[in-house]
Amino acid sequence: MTANHSTVPVLPDGLVIVVKRECETCRMVVPVIAQLRESGTVVNLYVQDDPAFPDGMDVVHDADLSVSWHHDIETVPTVMRVSNGVEVERTVGWVRDEWERVTAVSGLGPDLPAFRPGCGSLSVDPDLVDRLRVRFGGSVLSARRVDVADLEDEFEAMFDRGWTDGLPVVPPTEQRVMRMLQGTTRAPSDVVAVVPPDLVEVTVEKIAINAVMAGCKPEYLPWVIAGVEAVCNDTFNIHGVLATTMPVGPVIVCNGPGTRAIGMNSGMNVFGQGNRANLTIGRAIQLVIRNVGGGRPGEVDRATHGNPGKISFCFAEDEIGSPWTSLATSRGVAPDTDALTVFPGEGPRCVVDQLARDPESLTNTFAACLRTLHNPKSVLAFDVIVVMGPEHARVYADAGWDRERVLEELHARLQIPGDELVRGAHGIAEGVPERLRGVTLPKFRPGGILLVHAGGGAGLFSAIIGGWANGEVGSQPVTMTVTR
Amino acid sequence: MSFVNTNNTVLLDPTNERRVATMERVGRPESLRGLTVGLLDISKARGDVFIDRLEERLSEMGADVRRYKKPTFTKPAPVDLRHEIATHCQVVIEALAD
């Protein structure tokens, strides 16, 4: 390889035409190029594939596609007029009028049709583009290169280095990372956040590397970046969420049209297996915490049990089928805006009610189930996400209950007499201090129930995701918009 | 295409690439008598019960005990608090409850 692949080659003055033999239109315009040269016009002819094409003509072989790459040649033939090293005009394919305008020569190709589309440039060939991106743009990557020996299995090598969450990861090669970075407009060197517990600045590049390993597509990257930013701050307090002995991890609820554009699941089996976007976005965020932040189980992560969602727990809200405004909108984001909300959550549990056809009865079921969260005698300490299944939501929609009404009725049913909550009551040592006997206490603080609409169309079920120490002493849910 | 091909796979390091500085631990004192011992309460429920008892025992042994408390157990101790403890104490006991 030659020294500096990122240097943009300067174009010579006059006409610059880029062709390849493989392209039928390029072969068709060979007489026109000859005609231009005969007219005394300076024609600098670059050929991408075969330096012997066109037969007998002086050409420059753009062997490494450096000229094509740096001058954004997407179609061949491309004709450019260059003055003082600067491109002033360009046309692509064969359009006689356009060629005559750019070359300032008339009567070109009299025997040819007036128009014929060109072909794809080799520099944008899907089989080559990843390699070219590394070759000409790879210098933007600053991560340490790790050589894996010929006889070493790269998957095992990544396990050995402690880079994985216990499942295999995709090897983060330069080509894959450069492709991943196409998913964002942000510079690879941009610092996104300071990641606990080691409090290390994380760049877009490091996030992209971990996103590759998690199995993300480039279009998922903005969601991963937003997720990392959303958890790495004093409000969400990922340090505490990681370090706690409780079984919680970041639960990521995604909203907006972008969730549908990248194919996220908000329906059947919404928390389960089978959807690449759901699984890999959440996994990538966790890999960043592990690899960049240094947060590993048994070290700063002290969870007694943990939960399988600590590998990945990420899903989209079903907004299309929802009778309500979305979670993100309820938290101040404009409708139809891509956003995600992070919540320190345990695994989901099921709420079954197959008989309720009126909202009061169904709300009673929800309240009774929510009452038991973490401990039936625990109050105010934890928030919760209620993931309402579509068949349950329909009961509320038919009765005309909006989001606010549902939450209001739930909170009203979760006001608990202190007599039932004090230590020792019901034969349970756990509870609130004796002085709170006679005081009515709410199970959840105001705003402590987050309502989300998701799940398959069949099944009179919903889900509850219990939270962790809430408020300023613990973790607050954080909502963040997602931008490319 | 004139690409150099090798069979080696080159991966990009996903970690923070930091080399952690190691610091020598201060030597264990022969006796606590006359030393300032910091007791850091991390603000977990009933941690104070344990620390109260420690304070009693350490005071009996002739140590000058100072109490400190983190604002919340869920977050690292603020840097100012760590500095204050390091400035005033020769020995620190950080108690975890659960």
Q: What confidence tens digit (pLDDT) does each residue in A240-254 have? A: 999 999 999 999 999
Q: Is residue B44 part of a domain?
A: yes
Q: Is residue A150 part of a domain?
A: no
Nearest to A205 by CA among A161, A172, A231: A172
Interatomic CA distance for residues A103 and A196, integer angstroms: 60
Amino acid at A111: D
User: In this structure, are A133 and A173 located in the same domain?
Assistant: no
Q: What percent of chain B has pLDDT over 90?
A: 49
Residues A276, A215: contact at Cβ < 8 Å?
yes
Q: Which of A64, A144, A174 sits opposite B17 (nearest CB)?
A: A144
User: In this structure, are A350 and A440 located in the same domain?
Assistant: yes
Residue bearing tokens 């080159």: B10
User: In this structure, are A304 and A415 located in the same domain?
Assistant: yes
Instruction: Give pLDDT tens digits for B44-76.
Output: 888 888 899 999 999 999 999 999 999 988 888
Q: Is residue B79 part of a domain?
A: yes
User: In this structure, are A69 and A176 located in the same domain?
Assistant: no
Give the domain extent around B45.
36-95
Interatomic CA distance for residues A219 and A262, integer angstroms: 7
Q: Is residue A149 part of a domain?
A: no
Instruction: Say what the pLDDT of residue A219 is.
Output: 98
User: In this structure, are A203 and A338 located in the same domain?
Assistant: yes
Q: Is residue B25 part of a domain?
A: no
- Would you give the DSSP letter of residue A124? G
User: In this structure, are A123 and A191 located in the same domain?
Assistant: no
Instruction: Say what the pLDDT of residue B95 is.
Output: 67
Rounded mean pLDDT of chain A?
96
Instruction: Give how many domains chain A has, as a whole number.
Output: 2
Phi/psi at A100 (nearest 5 deg)?
-70, -35
- How many helices and strands, by DSSP H and E, does chain B display? 2, 4
**Among A138, A173, A198, where does a domain finish?**
A138
* Per-position DSSP letters for A337-352, written without gaps between them: --EEEEEEE--EEEEE
Q: Which residue in chain A has the smallest CA separation from B7?
A: A150
Q: Is residue A199 part of a domain?
A: yes
CB neighbour burial string for A349-358, b if at least 16 within 10 angstroms, e if fewer = eebebeebee
CA A255 to chain centre: 12
Q: Which residue in chain B has the smallest CA separation from A199?
A: B16
Tell me whether residues A292 and B15 touch, CB distance under 8 A.
yes
Q: Which of A149, A177, A294 sits opposite B12 (nearest CB)?
A: A177
Residue bearing tokens 């304070």: B55
CA distance B18 to chain A (A): 9
Count the residues in chain B: 98
Instruction: Say what the pLDDT of residue B76 is.
Output: 86
User: In this structure, are A121 and A188 located in the same domain?
Assistant: no
Interatomic CA distance for residues B29 and A388, integer angstroms: 60
Q: Is residue B24 part of a domain?
A: no
Q: Which of A147, A239, A287 sits opposite B10 (nearest CB)?
A: A147
Instruction: Say what the pLDDT of residue B8 is.
Output: 73
Q: Which of A158-172, A418-432, B35-49 has the lowest mean pLDDT?
A: B35-49
Burial class (CB in 10 A: 0-12, 13-18, 19+), B22: exposed
Q: Is residue B14 part of a domain?
A: no
Q: Which of A166-180, A183-197, B33-47 has the lowest mean pLDDT?
A: B33-47
Q: Is residue A293 part of a domain?
A: yes
A174: chain B residues, CB-CB within 8 Å? 10, 12
Residue B7 banded pLDDT, cuts 50, 70, 90 = low
Q: Is residue B31 part of a domain?
A: no
Residue A395 banded pLDDT, cuts 50, 70, 90 = very high
CB neighbour burial string for A281-306, b if at least 16 within 10 angstroms, e if fewer = bbbbbbbbbbbbbbbeeeebbebeeb
**Among A138, A168, A188, where does a domain finish?**
A138
Share in percent of chain B as helix, strand, coil (round to 5): 25, 20, 55
The predicted model scores a pTM of: 0.86
Tell me whether residues A210 and B11 touch, CB distance under 8 A.
no
Q: Is residue A2 part of a domain?
A: no
A198: chain B residues, CB-CB within 8 Å? 16, 18
CB neighbour burial string for A427-439, b if at least 16 within 10 angstroms, e if fewer = eeeebbeeebbee
CA distance A27 to chain B (A): 21
Interatomic CA distance for residues A441 and B28, integer angstroms: 49
Interatomic CA distance for residues A45 and A62, integer angstroms: 10
Q: Which residue in chain A has the smallest CA separation from B44?
A: A473
Bond prior to A308 in cis (omega within 30° of 0) = no
A240: chain B residues, CB-CB within 8 Å? 72, 74-75
Instruction: Say what the pLDDT of residue B19 is.
Output: 77
Instruction: Say what the pLDDT of residue B96 is.
Output: 67
- pLDDT at B25 > cutoff 90: no
User: In this structure, are A131 and A279 located in the same domain?
Assistant: no
Residue bearing tokens 């006409």: A15
Residue A3 banded pLDDT, cuts 50, 70, 90 = very low
User: In this structure, are A120 and A215 located in the same domain?
Assistant: no
Question: Which 16-75 residues of chain B touch chain A by CB within 8 A?
Answer: 16-18, 43, 71-75
Taking the CA atoms of residue A356, residue A358, residue A360 and residue A364 in that order, the dihedral angle to the nearest 10 degrees is: 10
CA distance B71 to chain A (A): 8
Instruction: Say what the pLDDT of residue B97 is.
Output: 61
Q: Which of A172, A244, A245 sits opposite B14 (nearest CB)?
A: A172
Strands (E), A52-100: 60-61, 75-76, 78-83, 86-92, 94-95
Angle between helix axes A204-214 and A221-231 (nearest 10 degrees) is 110
Instruction: Say what the pLDDT of residue B21 is.
Output: 75
Instruction: Give how many domains chain B has, as a whole number.
Output: 1
Q: Is residue B90 part of a domain?
A: yes
Instruction: Say what the pLDDT of residue B98 is.
Output: 59
Instruction: Say what the pLDDT of residue B3 is.
Output: 47
Q: Residue A94: beta bridge partners?
A: A116
Give the domain extent around A122.
14-138
Residue A330 banded pLDDT, cuts 50, 70, 90 = very high
> Across residues A384-396, what is the average pLDDT?
98
CA distance A210 to chain B (A): 6
User: In this structure, are A183 and A239 located in the same domain?
Assistant: yes
Instruction: Say what the pLDDT of residue A260 is.
Output: 98
Q: Which of A4-18, A142-156, A404-418 has the lowest mean pLDDT?
A: A4-18
Residue bearing tokens 């403890």: B85
Interatomic CA distance for residues A204 and A160, integer angstroms: 25
**ipTM surpasses cut 0.95:** no
The verdict on B78 touching A (C-beta cutoff 8 Å) is no
The verdict on B5 touching A (C-beta cutoff 8 Å) is no
- pLDDT at A57 > cutoff 80: yes
Q: Which of A78-92, A100-114, A134-148, A207-221 has the lowest mean pLDDT?
A: A134-148
Give me the CATH number covering residue A106.
3.40.30.10
Interatomic CA distance for residues A127 and A414, integer angstroms: 60
- pLDDT at A235 > cutoff 70: yes
User: In this structure, are A294 and A215 located in the same domain?
Assistant: yes
Q: Is residue A146 part of a domain?
A: no
Q: What element of type H or E holds A365?
A: helix A359-371
Amino acid at A10: V
Instruction: Say what the pLDDT of residue A51 is.
Output: 95
Interatomic CA distance for residues A423 and A430, integer angstroms: 5
Q: Is residue B77 part of a domain?
A: yes
- pLDDT at A268 > cutoff 80: yes
Instruction: Say what the pLDDT of residue B5 is.
Output: 46
Burial class (CB in 10 A: 0-12, 13-18, 19+), A162: exposed
- pLDDT at B88 > cutoff 60: yes
User: In this structure, are A331 and A278 located in the same domain?
Assistant: yes
Q: What element of type H or E holds A186?
A: none
